[in-house]
């Protein structure tokens, strides 16, 4: 998925001449706390609900407020991973998109990205999840995939995150297309891989689905 495919065309941009009351009304209508500000097809940044309410004057024009995230912007052909990174770096719930002509093309919300991601095959296909802890220097997805495939299984997706408690280590999360992980776990353990969590789930297994949801929240995915 790329940025232009994820644009939320329902979220309108504000103009500098709009009043703060209009911004607040739109935020309530669209259930968001930020909105883009655009003038002459140029993205100027986002105005936040917090900024407006701190001034306690809804008659003021949008131009009278400070904007945030003026560089929270991606090109229309950016991959959705890059969109998520930019949103995370700025700690905002949306990212602006610029066209090939450097004009404002719309916004993408993090919520919309999550919905799109949830519809991908890697999420929808039944399977199970393993979380491994290892030194970054020992990381080799090719080697891990080889061990998994020795047990007639496949890795459907993987994500890697730095361990916040140890900068030299990573947490590798892999989704495998099998419900029974006993043989895979035994093989990985035999080759010295440390498994710190496992989540076995199918589409019809609600308790396991709840645990998968908890894992996704833990990973901030």
SS3 108: strand
Contact predicate 201/128, CB 8 Å: yes
Contact predicate 192/109, CB 8 Å: no
CA 168 to chain CA centroid, Å, is 24
Name the phi and psi angles at 193, rounded to 5.
Answer: -85, 135
One pLDDT digit (tens) per residue for the chain, 221 residues: 788 999 999 999 999 999 999 999 999 999 999 999 999 999 999 999 999 999 989 999 999 999 999 999 999 999 888 998 999 999 999 999 999 888 999 999 988 888 777 766 566 777 899 999 999 999 999 999 999 999 999 998 888 888 877 778 999 999 999 888 899 999 999 999 999 998 876 444 454 455 555 555 544 44
Determine the topology of domain 122-218 in CATH. Alpha-Beta Plaits (3.30.70)
Q: What is the DSSP letter of 153?
A: -
pTM higher than 0.75: no
Determine the topology of domain 3-117 in CATH. CBS-domain (3.10.580)
Task: Indicate the domain borders of the chain.
Answer: 3-117, 122-218
């Amino acid at each position: 998925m790329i940025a232009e495919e994820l644009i939320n065309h329902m979220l309108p941009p504000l103009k500098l001449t709009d009043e703060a009351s209009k911004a607040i009304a739109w935020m309530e209508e669209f259930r968001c706390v930020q909105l883009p500000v655009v003038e002459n097809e140029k993205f100027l940044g986002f105005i936040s609900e917090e900024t407006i309410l701190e001034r306690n004057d809804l008659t003021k024009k949008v131009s009278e407020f400070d904007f945030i995230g003026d560089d929270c912007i991606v090109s229309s052909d950016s991959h959705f991973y890059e969109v998520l990174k930019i949103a995370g770096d700025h700690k905002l719930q949306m990212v602006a998109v610029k066209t090939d002509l450097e004009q404002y093309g719309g916004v993408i919300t993090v919520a919309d990205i999550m919905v799109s991601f949830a519809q991908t095959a890697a999420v929808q296909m039944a399977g199970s999840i393993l979380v491994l802890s290892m030194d970054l220097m020992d990381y080799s997805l090719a080697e891990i995939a080889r061990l998994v495939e020795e047990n007639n299984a496949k890795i459907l997706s993987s994500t890697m995150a730095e361990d916040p408690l140890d900068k030299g280590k990573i947490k590798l999360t892999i989704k495998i297309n099998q419900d029974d992980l006993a043989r895979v776990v035994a093989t990985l353990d035999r080759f010295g891989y440390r498994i710190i969590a496992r989540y076995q789930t199918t589409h019809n297994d609600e308790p396991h689905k709840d645990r998968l949801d908890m894992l996704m929240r833990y990973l901030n995915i």
